[in-house]
Chains A and B, each alone.
Chain A
Amino acid sequence: MLNKLRAGDKYGQYGYIFIAPFFLVLAIFTIFPMCYSLYLSLTSWDGSTVAPKIVGFANYVDLLKDDTFRQAVANTLIIWLSNVAPQMICAIGLAAILTDKYTEIKGKGFFRAIYYLPNLVTMASVGLLFYYILDWQSGSLNFLLVKIHVFKEPFNWLQDPTATRGAISFTLWWMWFGYSMIIFMAGIKAIPEDLFEAAHVDGANRMQTFLNITIPGIKGSIMYNCVTSVIGGLTMFDIPYVLTNGVGSPLDKGLTIVNYMYNMTFKNYNFGYGATIYAGMFVIVLIFVAIAFKMLDKNLATN
């Protein structure tokens, strides 16, 4: 077909054929379910054999008055913020150390793999692992802390709101800093070598090099990590689900937006309201991503 093309043929249009499969998949598995969820949010439906009943915006009115939803949004933001900051700092720091030309760290490849490893384990398994470590009476953390006389009595981690949220953040941090680190390392590798050499020749110390060359050089990677963590953080599910017994215990203080939506839909069989929570989450994520994109845009413009 291609050798029949002549000058002036718009062969660019064949590109659409090549990208069509993606959009087909997107339409079937993403766009359609999205529209269907929006339709469900206007109905009252228990997911059973009786057809959904249109109730208009009643679910949305409920959502605006729903304290649990507000609590879930707050929880999600708190857990996300307390996870993303240490994650970025750790990842950038480790990436800088592991890529530093002038400090020859032995076994670089080994550490890189070790830090990345937790990311390869299934979320639910990691959640369960931490759940058992944090178990009140029989968990190894309490066992250790009591043994070395930090605590007199085992501390009930997962009944304390702050400790529960902290545990979720920590677990997510443990899983994801390696992943961010790899991206930062790639970013640092892309900085022209001569910049570092020039700095070295000029007598800049490590901190100066890091602040004035590395950080500005990986702005793009930082933004990329921020945007993906906004989306990933606001839709977090597995780890909080496992660590909070699936119900957001203690008393909804560990309930994330997606947990709430999941429980409402698949445990309480309230598909209509579940879809409304989804719509609420969609709006929130949209706002945050728009902000992140705006910043990314500005950032790329100044570079």
Chain B
Amino acid sequence: MKRFKKLLAVVACVSMMSTMFAACGSSGDSTNSPAPDTSASPSAEASVAPSADASVAPSAVDKTAVKGEISFWHFNKDEGPNIVKAFNAAYPNVKVNLSIVPDKDQQYQNKITSAIRAGSGVPDVFSAESAFVKRFVEMPDAFADLTAKAKDVVGNMVPYTVAVGTDKNGVLRALSHQAAAGAIAYKKAAAKQYLGTDDPAQIADMLSSQDKMIATAKTLKEKSGGKVALFPTFEEPQKMYLGGRSQGWVSADNKLTIDQKMLDFIDFAKTLRDNKYEAALDQWSPGWSSAIAADDKALVWACPTWGIPWIVGSNDKKAADGGRWAIAKPPFAYFWGGTWFGIYSKSDKQDLAWDFLSQFTADKDAMKKWAIDNQDFPNNLAAIAEGSPEDSKIVGTNVFKFYEPFIKDINGSILTKYDDTIENAFVDCMRSYLAGKIKTKDEMIKTFKDKVKTNLKDITVE
């Protein structure tokens, strides 16, 4: 008996400590779902097939006459309520039951996934961030097919956002209300002083290729006496190079593919680091933030549409006075971030959900108003073509007009559901390579491949 008790004590002790970590997500099929009970039972599949009738055109109906109730999940506590508010301004008689689940430790994703698996408690509409949207787009039973419903409106969307929302069989499943196109933001005073110009066209030209960027970085370093680096971190140009790829990390037959752009980037980043052309800060670190507010330190930041208020504006308090920052065309078209939305495939309110979704992803006026109210950039070519109603104070330019010429060049088809893990591994290897811990480029690539192989067992690494 004594022996048994001891054994019991050991087992209980170990199990309690170790399951604290192991248990948290794998089985936690939480029952306290805050969403109202709008679930469609798995058997009620009658409404799943997307109807191809044309009655869905949002402009044709009287929006105040539409009544009903739908549920909507979002991971962002700022954006979620604003979307509902904007929607209710047009559809006052539709009740949207919003619940916000932050995606800390994949909590949001796990909650949705387990709800879909259980077939109950799934919201009619839910959002997905660029980091995991592909996972839900490719996941069976998650998002409904929007191809037929959206056929009249996709042509007016920025093409890359549609490519991201399309699964590998070409079925459209998620739409975005914003286009997170990338540009480069630079400090005007430093550019003028050390490069002789602060004109966006000339700056864009100075940074239009790898060789030109290196030459510009050299000039900048020499003229400023080493006070100003071209980039705060290698992760800024990495965003652009990632966008400049012609193929994604994982090919259609599930093979790891390292695009030529990334091979170029490895050399480029090494040159930057070895010559102190980048300030070796970590993206999002306090040093990086304070470098944005500083007059020197670094010149150029990767800046998507949302970065104007949230990277430049929120870190440099003086930016809103104007004249400190400008934006220029990036060397390679890219996008960074963004949120997509889709309708649950087995929701029994497909039409109402589409009214909701199309209101903020396809209605030009609503989208334009949204963009102005939220300092956002609409995913609507007609709205973009009309230009922003007023110039941005921070970068002193008409933001819609500025992005319009190159927004269509962005390649959305290179996004895969593995990108997050692969890019984390890539950055880890890059940091070691740049710090000199990995000696050669070949070794760096080999280490990177090994890491991908360890982490992603279902893709082939050669």
Interface residues of A (CB under 8 A from B): 26, 29-34, 36-37, 40, 46-50, 62, 66-68, 132, 135-139, 156, 159-160, 227, 231-232, 235, 237, 245-247, 249-252, 258, 261-271, 273-275, 278, 281-282, 285-286, 289-290, 293, 297
Contacts of B135 in A (CB 8 A): 48, 269
Residue from the list A36, A40, A46, A285 in contact with B17, Cβ < 8 A: A285
The answer on a CB contact under 8 Å between A37 and B22 is yes
Determine which of A160, A269, A278 lies in contact with B22 in the assembled complex, contact meaning CB atoms within 8 Å. Answer: A278
A237–B17 Cα distance when bound, in Å, is 12
In the complex, besides A250-B431, A274-B26, 6 extra interface pairs with C-beta distance below 8 angstroms are A48-B139, A227-B13, A235-B21, A245-B427, A251-B437, A282-B15
Let me know if A49 and B113 touch, CB within 8 A.
yes
Is B1 in contact with chain A by the CB < 8 A criterion? no
Which interface residue of B139, B438, B457 has the most chain A CB atoms within 10 A?
B457
The residues of B that contact A29 with a CB separation of less than 8 Å are 19, 23
One digit per residue, 1 when the CB lies within 8 angstroms of any chain A CB and 0 when it does not, for chain B 110-133 equals 100100110000000000000000
Q: Contact at A286–B21, with CB atoms within 8 Å?
A: no
Sampled A-B contacts (18; CB under 8 Å): A33-B22, A46-B458, A66-B454, A138-B287, A139-B287, A235-B21, A249-B431, A250-B428, A250-B431, A250-B437, A251-B438, A269-B135, A271-B26, A274-B26, A278-B21, A278-B22, A289-B10, A289-B14
Contact of B26 among A50, A67, A275 (CB under 8 A): A275
**Distance between Cα atoms of A175 and B420 in the complex (Å):** 32
Cβ contact of B113, chosen from A47, A270, A273, A275, cutoff 8 A: A47
CB contact under 8 A between A246 and B14, given known A49-B141, A49-B142, A266-B105: no
- B454 lies within 8 A of A246 (CB): no
Contacting residues, chain A, for B290 (C-beta < 8 A):
138
Query: CA of A155 to CA of B344 in the docked complex: distance in angstroms?
Result: 51
Taking a contact as CB atoms under 8 Å apart, the answer to whether B431 and A159 are in contact is: yes
Residues of B contacting A264 in the complex (Cβ-Cβ under 8 angstroms): 455
Given A159-B431, A159-B437, A270-B457, A258:B26 Cβ within 8 A: no
Query: How far apart are the CA atoms of A30 and B288 in the complex, in Å?
Result: 43
What residues on B are CB-neighbors of A26 within 8 Å? Answer: 12, 16
Q: Which residues of B contact A274 (CB under 8 A)?
A: 26
Query: Which B positions have Cβ atoms within 8 angstroms of A?
Result: 6, 9-23, 25-27, 105-106, 110, 113, 116-117, 135, 139-142, 279-282, 285-288, 290, 420-421, 424-425, 427-429, 431-432, 435, 437-438, 447, 451, 454-458
A100–B19 Cα distance when bound, in Å, is 40
Nearest 6 interchain pairs by C-beta: A138-B287, A33-B23, A159-B435, A278-B22, A231-B17, A249-B428
Of B19, B142, B437, B458, most A-chain CB atoms within 10 Å = B19
Do most interface residues of chain A lie in helix, strand or loop, or is the interface mixed?
helix
Residues of B within 8 A of A46 (CB): 458
Chain B residue with minimal CB distance to A68?
B454
| B21 contacts A262, C-beta separation under 8 Å | yes
Q: How far is the CA of A245 from the CA of B284 in the complex (A)?
A: 12
Chain B residues, Cβ within 8 Å of A31: 15
Report the Cα distance A36→B438, complex, angstroms: 40
Residues of chain A lying within 8 A (CB to CB) of residue B10: 286, 289-290, 293
- Assess the A37–B26 pair: CB atoms within 8 A: yes
Complex: A252 Cα to B421 Cα, angstroms: 14
Q: Which single member of A237, A263, A271 contacts B21 (CB below 8 Å)?
A: A237
Q: B6, B116, B432: which contacts A251 (Cβ < 8 A)?
A: B432
Interface contact A268-B279, CB-CB below 8 Å: no
With the chains together, A235 CA to B25 CA distance in Å? Answer: 16
Residue among B15, B21, B279 making CB contact with A137, cutoff 8 Å? B279
The answer to whether A135 and B457 touch (CB under 8 A), given A251-B447, A281-B18, is no
Interchain CA distance A246-B285 in the complex, whole Å: 15
- Residues of chain B within 8 A (CB-CB) of A33 are 19, 22-23, 26-27
Nearest chain A residue, comparing its CB with the CB of B106: A266
Q: In the assembled complex, how far is the CB of residue B368 from the closest CB belonging to chain A, in whole angstroms? A: 37
Given known pairs A49-B141, A250-B437, A285-B14, the reply for A261 and B21 (CB within 8 Å) is yes
Pairwise interchain contact A30-B16, C-beta atoms closer than 8 A: yes
- How far is it, in angstroms, between the C-alpha of A237 and the C-alpha of B22 when the chains are bound? 12
Q: Which of A48, A139, A266, A289 has the most C-beta atoms of chain B within 10 angstroms of its own C-beta?
A: A48
Residue of B nearest to A46 (CB): B458
